[in-house]
């Protein structure tokens, strides 16, 4: 099968798409990726050929200077959504459509897979008449009954007032995205396609929406549209499959990992320093990973804390007693899969929603991104000392293991390309 993937540098989301590409290529499919220039090595190492977008904007999340969206400059969650809408999702609609159309003209495909952050690329797929799939990096990202609005960080509603809260938040979110539809509809008109009312219409027209998390982790997984499938977390964080340092655990006191975003976000460096200081007050060993947020040498580390730029999660999580995270889906789901409870300090994006899922599962606590050293010390101490958090994380690990099916995502790609026909191997 010939698969074209329209990718985007979204930080942690790249690992999800890269894993799907690797699994499809390993099954013998011919995969090629359209993407931003900095993604070439990652996708070629996964077994795909790679072509850089000719018209769509470039993006590199590894530094503040090259990040296209710069959502940390927005003062509110709505401001963050607006930046993503205008700079990625819909603003460059014409360019994404043109890239996809020209690539399909150059070499046809049996299936086109589109990153959830660039839904405007779907218009090019529709115009070409190809089956289409959207990959969502984590929980389902559209409002639906029984679930809080995406981006709200709310817990599931209780009673009439809670349901009203969810409807109001969902209406506001959809109004923000609807404002971007004129740019998309202008691009659609150039290819003779009918206009769409909102983002929901675009996703309803897709053959499959593949949600790359566990249904047991998400809220209201049974209330999604009929073209949505949960395929489990797509996070190959095994030795030899990710860049970064290794960790040979020396043993001793309980180990606490601090891991924030793989992209630049606001307040990260300050939170890393407060976390290191909090670990210095606890009878633990601390491992702080800075990513791009700070130079490891800039963190004033107490004697019981090690600071690294990066450590592969698969190497360190088996030894951890707790994780302090920003709430990115990748870090959260890897910790839960290892049975490790969390303290989550959301910095933005989907992180408040992941924090809510951790708390709802009983597998950790949520704190403010501005939490003081004393507050971080207290909440980390609770997660370490109160066995209920560890027990809940281990129950979640058992559920994730029972639901894990590494072949499911490629099965769904094959079914979609074959018009829903079952496949056999």
pLDDT in tens, 373-425: 999 999 999 999 999 999 999 999 999 999 999 999 999 999 999 986 545 45
Q: Measuring CA to CA, how many Å separate 83 from each of 36, 73, 305, 364, 389?
A: 18, 10, 37, 31, 36
Structure tokens at 291: 């990513």
Distance (Å, rounded) from C-alpha 109 to C-alpha 132? Answer: 10
The per-residue pLDDT for range 120-152, each reduced to its tens digit, is: 999 999 999 999 999 999 999 999 988 999 999
Same domain, 265 and 399: yes
Regarding whether 161 and 308 lie in a shared domain, the answer is: no
Residue with tokens 């107490």: 302
d(C-alpha 132, C-alpha 206), whole Å: 6
Strand order in the sheet with 285-289: 305-308, 285-289, 255-259, 320-325, 342-344, 364-366
- The reply to whether 387 falls in a domain is yes
In a domain, 424, yes or no: no
Angle at 185 between CA 74 and CA 75, to 5 degrees: 5
pLDDT computed for residue 133 by the predictor: 98
Torsion region of 134: left, alpha or beta (phi above 0 gives left; psi -120 to 50 gives alpha): beta
> Are both 300 and 358 inside the same structural domain?
yes
Residue 422 included in any domain: no
**Do 378 and 259 share a structural domain?**
yes
Confidence tier at 242 by pLDDT (50, 70, 90): very low
Residue 160 shares a structural domain with residue 284? no
Pair (260, 163) in one structural domain = no
Q: What is the mean pLDDT of residues 43-53?
A: 97
Q: Which two tokens stand for residue 72?
A: 């940390």
pLDDT band per the 50, 70, 90 thresholds, residue 194: very high
Average pLDDT, the chain: 92
At 69, the pLDDT band (50, 70, 90 cuts) reads confident
Q: Is 162:148 a contact under the CB 8 Å cutoff? A: no
Residue 323 within a domain: yes
- The dihedral built from the CA positions of residue 29, 32, 35 and 40, taken in this order, carries a sign that is positive
Is residue 195 located within the same domain as residue 339? no
Whether residues 278 and 390 share a domain: the answer is: yes
**Do the domain assignments include residue 221?**
yes
pLDDT for position 163: 93
Burial class (CB in 10 A: 0-12, 13-18, 19+), 154: middle
Please name the residue that has the structure tokens 């969502």.
136
pLDDT of 260 higher than 90 = no
How many percent of the chain have pLDDT more than 70?
A: 96
Cα dihedral 33/190/57/59 (nearest 10): -50
**Per-residue pLDDT tens over the stretch 265-280:** 667 889 999 999 999 9
Answer yes or no: do 173 and 276 share one domain. no
Same domain, yes or no, for 410 and 391? no
Q: What is the pLDDT of residues 314-334, one digit of tens each?
A: 999 999 999 999 999 999 999
Q: Are residues 73 and 213 in the same domain?
A: yes
Separation CA 326–CA 351 (nearest Å) = 7
Residues 45 and 189 grouped into a single domain: yes
Residue 249 lies in a domain: no
pLDDT tens-digit series, residues 201-210? 999 999 999 9
Give the structural domain span for 139. Answer: 2-232+405-417
CATH label of the domain that carries residue 88: 3.40.50.2000
> What is the pLDDT at residue 390?
98
Residue pair 60/66 in contact (Cβ under 8 Å)? The answer is yes
Q: Dump pLDDT digits (tens) for 72-107.
A: 788 788 888 899 999 999 999 999 999 999 999 999
Report yes or no on 171 lying in a domain: yes
In a domain, 246, yes or no: no
Give the strand pairing for 49-52 and 30-35. Answer: parallel
Query: What's the average model confidence in pLDDT over 245-271?
Result: 84
Q: Total domain count for the chain? A: 2
């Amino acid at each position: 099968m010939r698969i074209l993937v329209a990718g985007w540098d979204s930080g942690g989301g790249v690992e999800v798409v890269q894993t799907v590409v690797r699994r499809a290529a390993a099954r013998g499919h011919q995969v090629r990726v359209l993407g931003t220039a900095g993604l070439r090595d990652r996708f070629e190492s996964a077994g795909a050929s790679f072509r850089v977008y000719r018209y769509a904007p470039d993006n590199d999340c590894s530094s503040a200077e090259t990040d296209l969206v710069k959502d940390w400059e927005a003062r509110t969650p709505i401001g963050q959504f607006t930046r993503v809408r205008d700079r990625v999702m819909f603003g460059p609609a014409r360019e994404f459509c043109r890239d996809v159309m020209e690539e399909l003209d150059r070499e046809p495909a049996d299936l086109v897979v589109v990153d959830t952050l660039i839904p405007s690329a779907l218009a090019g797929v529709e115009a070409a008449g190809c089956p289409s799939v959207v990959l969502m990096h984590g929980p389902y990202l559209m409002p639906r009954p029984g679930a809080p609005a995406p981006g709200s960080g709310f817990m599931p509603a209780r009673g009439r007032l809670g349901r009203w809260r969810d409807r109001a938040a969902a209406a506001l979110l959809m109004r923000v995205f609807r404002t971007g539809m004129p740019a998309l509809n202008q691009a659609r008109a150039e290819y003779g396609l009918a206009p769409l009312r909102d983002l929901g219409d675009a996703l309803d027209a897709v053959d499959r929406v593949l949600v790359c998390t566990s249904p047991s982790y998400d809220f209201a997984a049974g209330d999604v549209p009929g073209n949505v499938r949960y395929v489990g977390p797509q996070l190959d964080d095994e030795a030899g499959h990710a860049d970064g340092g290794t960790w040979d655990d020396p043993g001793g006191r309980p180990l606490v990992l601090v891991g924030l975003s793989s992209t630049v976000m606001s307040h990260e460096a300050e939170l890393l320093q407060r976390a290191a200081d909090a670990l210095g007050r606890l009878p633990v060993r601390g491992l702080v990973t800075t990513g791009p947020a700070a130079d490891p040498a800039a963190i004033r580390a107490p004697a019981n804390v090690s600071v690294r730029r990066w450590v592969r999660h698969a190497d360190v999580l088996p030894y951890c007693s707790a994780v302090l995270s920003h709430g990115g889906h990748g870090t959260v789901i890897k910790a839960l899969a290892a049975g490790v409870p969390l303290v989550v300090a959301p910095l933005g994006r989907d992180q408040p929603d992941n924090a809510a899922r951790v708390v709802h599962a009983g597998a950790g606590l949520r704190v403010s991104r501005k939490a003081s050293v004393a507050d971080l010390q207290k909440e980390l101490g609770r997660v370490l000392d109160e066995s209920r958090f560890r027990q809940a994380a281990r129950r979640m690990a058992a559920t994730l293991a029972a639901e894990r099916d590494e072949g499911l995502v490629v099965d769904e790609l094959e079914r979609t390309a074959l018009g829903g026909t079952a496949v056999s191997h």
